[in-house]
């Protein structure tokens, strides 16, 4: 499938600030182009609004990096977002989510090894699936999740899950190409 937004916009399409940000991100990710950013960067103000929000949820919040990657991997799997999975499988490994743990995340609450996860991870997986599937959380799921996350983390968990669900939809609708040749 072809991208719906030009894949490799130049300085004119992005503006100097966005062009520079895209170059820095691509270099950090060790890819020729960071397609998500070169796509969103074509709406200059939107990118600058989204970057701090997305960045805070991904690395500046109260959830641990491991929990954050856990959530993102499950959302990416549920939404079949290969772009998210391509990046966050690597990032998850760096955060301590090995391939076996990632496989259990992808199996989900109905998977054969669900009981091998911690009570916290089981509560998170159940909540992610419910939130993505129904756009809300039942009282029972909320009560279970509340045993493991304090109030700020509960709020952040819902925002993180929803943000990556929305990002998966954006990536799909705009047909943003993958960054790695895998």
For 56-80, the pLDDT digits (tens) are 999 899 999 999 999 999 999 999 9
Q: Which two tokens stand for residue 3?
A: 């991208």
**How far is CA 85 from its chain centroid?**
8
Residue 9 in this model has a pLDDT that exceeds 80: no
More confident residue, 20 or 181: 20
* Contact residues for 173 (Cβ-Cβ < 8 A; gap 6+): 4
Nearest to 90 by CA among 125, 116, 65: 65
Sign of CA dihedral 168, 172, 173, 178: positive
Read off the pLDDT band of 173 (50, 70, 90).
very high
| Residue 180: per-residue pLDDT | 86
* Contact residues for 122 (Cβ-Cβ < 8 A; gap 6+): 109, 114, 115
Residue 46 in this model has a pLDDT that exceeds 90: yes
| Residue 159: per-residue pLDDT | 98
Read off the pLDDT band of 24 (50, 70, 90).
very high
Q: What is the DSSP string of 112-134?
A: TTGGGS-HHHHHHHHHHHHHHHH
C-beta neighbour count of 175 within 10 angstroms? 15
Residue 97 in this model has a pLDDT that exceeds 70: yes
- The residue ranges of every structural domain in the chain are 9-55, 58-171
More confident residue, 94 or 1: 94
- Rounded to the nearest 10°, the torsion over CA 155, 62, 38, 174 is -30
Q: Whole-structure pTM over 0.75, yes or no?
A: yes
| Residue 8: per-residue pLDDT | 65
5-24 in b/e form (b: 16+ CB < 10 A) is: beeebeeeebeeebbebbee
93-123 in b/e form (b: 16+ CB < 10 A) is: eebebeeebbebbebeeeeeeeeebeeebbb
C-alpha angle 144-146-148 in degrees, rounded to nearest 5: 90
Read off the pLDDT band of 38 (50, 70, 90).
very high
Fold that domain 58-171 belongs to in CATH: AhpD-like (1.20.1290)
Whether 95 contacts 66, CB under 8 Å: yes
Read off the pLDDT band of 182 (50, 70, 90).
low
């Amino acid at each position: 499938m072809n991208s719906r937004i030009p894949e490799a916009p130049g300085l004119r399409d992005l503006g100097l600030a966005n062009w520079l940000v895209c170059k820095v991100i691509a270099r950090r990710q060790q890819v020729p182009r960071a397609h998500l950013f070169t796509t969103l960067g074509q709406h200059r103000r939107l990118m600058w609004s989204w970057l701090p929000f997305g960045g805070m949820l991904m690395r500046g919040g109260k959830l641990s990096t491991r929990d954050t990657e856990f959530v993102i991997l499950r959302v990416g799997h549920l939404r079949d977002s290969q772009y998210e999975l391509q990046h966050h499988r690597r990032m998850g490994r760096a955060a301590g989510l090995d391939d076996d743990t990632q496989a259990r995340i992808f199996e989900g609450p109905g998977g054969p090894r669900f009981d091998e996860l911690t009570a916290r991870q089981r509560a998170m997986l159940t909540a992610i699936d419910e939130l993505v599937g129904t756009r809300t959380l039942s009282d029972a799921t909320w009560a279970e999740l509340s045993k493991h996350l304090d109030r700020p983390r509960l709020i952040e968990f819902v925002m993180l899950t929803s943000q990556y669900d929305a990002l998966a939809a954006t990536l799909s609708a705009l047909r943003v190409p993958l960054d790695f040749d895998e």
